[in-house]
């Protein structure tokens, strides 16, 4: 859930079934996000966007490169 993600990012710990576990440094969060155009997606609230150091947008591969990936 989002609250679990925020706990991990802000408090450097996670709580599962009432038991709290510290997260060992370095603790990093890598996340993915679908474009807003996809059904059922919504923009991240500013409070969550501010917690990420960077944002990388990856476009689609051209057909030739996609075929190369599929052939691997």
Of 44, 16, 47, residue with least CA distance to 32: 44
- The tokens for 9 are 């990012």
Q: CA 45 to CA 51: how far, in whole Å?
A: 11
pLDDT the model gives residue 2: 77
The tally of domains found in the chain comes to 1
Q: Where are the beta strands (DSSP E) in 1-72?
A: 13-16, 19-22
pLDDT the model gives residue 38: 73
pTM over 0.75: no
Q: How far is CA 14 from CA 9, 27, 45, in A?
A: 9, 12, 21
pLDDT the model gives residue 29: 85
Residue 58: give its domain's CATH number.
3.40.50.300
User: What is the per-residue pLDDT across 40-63, written as a single tens digit (0 to 9) for each?
Assistant: 777 778 888 888 888 888 888 999
Q: pLDDT-derived band of residue 33, with 50, 70 and 90 as boundaries?
A: confident
Residue 14 domain boundaries? 2-71
pLDDT the model gives residue 43: 79
Residue 18's SS3 state is: coil
């Amino acid at each position: 859930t989002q609250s679990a993600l925020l706990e991990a990012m802000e408090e450097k710990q996670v709580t599962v079934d009432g038991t709290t576990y510290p997260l060992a440094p370095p603790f990093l969060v890598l996340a993915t996000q679908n474009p807003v155009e996809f059904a059922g997606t919504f923009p991240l609230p500013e409070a969550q966007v501010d917690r990420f150091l960077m944002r990388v947008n990856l476009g689609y591969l051209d057909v030739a490169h996609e075929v190369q990936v599929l052939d691997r």
